[in-house]
Amino acid sequence: MKKDDFPYYLSKFFQSYLPGSRNVSGNTILSYRDTFTKLLTYLRDARSIAPDRVSFRDLDRNAIEDFLSYLENDQGCSISTRNQRLAGLKSFFRFAEVERPDLLAGCQAILSIKNKKSPKPVIDYLSGDETQLLLSQPDTSSAKGRRDLALLSLMYDSAARVQELCDLKAGSVRLDSPAVVRLYGKGRKTRDVPLDAPCARILRAYMAENRLDRKEMQDTPLFFNSRKEKLSRSGVSYILSKYITLANGRGGSIPAGITPHCLRHSKAMHMVEAGINLIYIRDMLGHESIETTQVYAKANPETRRMALEKMESKNPNPPMPDWNDNPDIMDFLHGLK
């Protein structure tokens, strides 16, 4: 492998830069890997360039823009997926422009490609009644039902991302008052999230039943399948979907498209409705910026209604004069305060 061309720097990007210098998560590395796999496949099929023969000369702005168009038009990718792929490419070319200053102009041309604007998705979340209905579905007379209740309760109460939930180990939970769970989030950042008393009580019983409260079990997955392996993202989604179907069969009307991430949204929206400060909600959710958290306040119709009512009750402005009440234009203008 030549040390002055694309394959060498792509290998260095994945083997040392991302896990070492950037300390990104394994999921981010896999996402970037998929991006470059698709790029190399596109260059092979559309431009007849074998993957092992791709060079920086082949990767100009036009090639990247054609690849992004291919993702949307031929692969049926959404705008958000297109933007996600572009983010992975930009990460590599930021790395490349430092490693290869002679390629600076070409890298800058690619880095100047803009994200496409897409409609902001509607936040799906459960009402308080729907959340209670969902959490009442697991059959607590069985071990699996008790596990599922602990899983769903913690997923909602901690507002954890699904991967954060899958990665939890027994040692991540402290049930002494005040009960706390330590979540490992994006960018390998950790945050301690307090648990309310009912959730802590459910977790305590579940952990005691499975002997997860012992010191030697600290590195054991908190939630596992029948093979004692940690639950996967798809496994958690399956469990949630199963109880949504069960709840709807018993008179509920929970939308079928609710995902584990919707429980995170639900917790955030319920906190907004309770009037909890957005700074605290931001820290609990592990957001980098308060602007990300503000989307919940903006999306909550009850919050908007209360804000409008508050404005109307404190409106200091008298009603505007009506032109029809005074047809003399000068008198009308002077009547404007």
pLDDT tens digits, one per residue of 167-226 = 999 999 999 889 999 998 876 788 999 999 999 999 999 999 999 999 999 999 999 998
The average pLDDT across 269-289 equals: 88
Same domain, 70 and 151: no
Q: Report whether pLDDT(323) > 50.
A: no
Of 209, 231, 265, which residue constitutes the final position of a domain? 265
Nearest to 244 by CA among 136, 123, 154, 128: 136
Q: Report how many domains make up the chain.
A: 2
Residue range 247-265: average pLDDT? 91
Q: How many CA atoms lie within 13 A of 166 on its CB side?
A: 17
Q: For residue 126, is pLDDT > 70?
A: yes
pTM equals 0.68
C-beta atoms surrounding 11 within 10 Å: 11
Domain limits for position 107: 6-111
326 located within any domain: no
Residue 223 sits in the same domain as residue 157: yes
Q: What is the CATH number of the domain that holds 60?
A: 1.10.150
Read off the pLDDT band of 308 (50, 70, 90).
very low
Pair (172, 142) in one structural domain: yes
- Tell me 288's DSSP state: S
Looking at 122-131, 184-193, 246-255, 304-313, which range is the least confident one?
304-313
- Indicate if the pLDDT at residue 307 is higher than 50: no
| Position with higher pLDDT, 2 vs 43 | 43
Do 145 and 261 reside in the same domain of the chain?
Answer: yes
Cis peptide leading into residue 178 (ω within 30°): yes
Indicate the residue among 111, 138, 163 that finishes a domain: 111
Q: For residue 243, is it within any domain?
A: yes
What pLDDT is attached to residue 179? Answer: 94
pLDDT reading at 148 higher than 50: yes
Quick one: 17 and 57 in the same domain?
A: yes
Contacts for 27 with CB less than 8 Å, ≥ 6 apart: 163
Q: Running DSSP on this structure, what letter comes out for residue 217? A: G
Please state which of the ranges 99-113, 142-156, 184-198 shows the lowest mean pLDDT. 184-198
Residues that are catalytic: 161, 186, 261, 264, 287, 296
Least confident of 79-93, 110-124, 198-212, 297-311: 297-311
> Is residue 337 assigned to a domain?
no
- 304 belongs to a structural domain: no
260-273 and 278-285 helices cross at what angle (nearest 10)?
160
From the number of C-beta atoms within 10 Å of its C-beta (0-12, 13-18, 19+), residue 62 rates as exposed
Do strands 173-174 and 190-194 pair parallel, antiparallel, or not at all (unpaired)?
unpaired
Q: Which amino acid is at 281?
A: I
Classify residue 323: in a domain, yes or no.
no
Residue 311 confidence (pLDDT) above 50: no
- The answer on 132 and 256 residing in a single domain is yes
Q: Exposed (0-12), middle (13-18) or buried (19+): which is 280, by Cβ within 10 Å?
A: exposed
Mapped onto helix, strand or coil, the DSSP state of residue 192 is strand
Phi-psi region of 82 (alpha: psi -120 to 50; beta: other; left: phi over 0): alpha
Angle at 115 between CA 284 and CA 46, to 5 degrees: 125
Average pLDDT, whole number, for the chain?
87
Only one residue has tokens 């069969």, namely 249
Instruction: Supply the pLDDT for residue 20.
Output: 87
